[in-house]
Amino acid sequence: MEKAVLEAINEEAHPFDGELLQNQEPKHFTDACQRPLIMLRWRMRQCHYCSTSFDITKEGRFYRCGGCIE
Ligand SMILES: [Zn+2]
């Protein structure tokens, strides 16, 4: 992992399992875009299309929930 990415991750107040930031509050796409380096490192995300919250380890892709990629 790039040093800049790791630094950005460390600046976030969330546990990091080596792959994803274990956030509780779903991350919205627009908000995630503020930090492009780590925008795909959030576990809980809000679907950009239907606003449903989802866990990326279980479903979905990027900022699209399981229901919106079918
Ligand atoms: Zn959706």
The tens digit of pLDDT for each residue in 9-67 reads 999 999 999 999 999 999 999 999 999 999 999 999 999 999 999 999 999 999 999 99
Is 58 exposed, middle or buried (CB count within 10 Å of its CB: 0-12, 13-18, 19+)?
exposed
- Cα(2) to centroid of ligand 1, in Å? 30
All residues with CB under 5 Å from ion ligand 1:
47, 49-50, 52, 65, 68
- Cα(29) to centroid of ligand 1, in Å? 12
- Cα(13) to centroid of ligand 1, in Å? 26
pLDDT grade for 8, boundaries at 50, 70 and 90: very high
| Domain edges within the chain | 3-69
Residue 70 has pLDDT above 90, yes or no: no
Alpha carbons 65 and 68: distance in angstroms, whole number? 5
Exposure letters 32-53 (e unless 16+ CB within 10 A, then b): beeeeebbebbbbbbbeeeebe
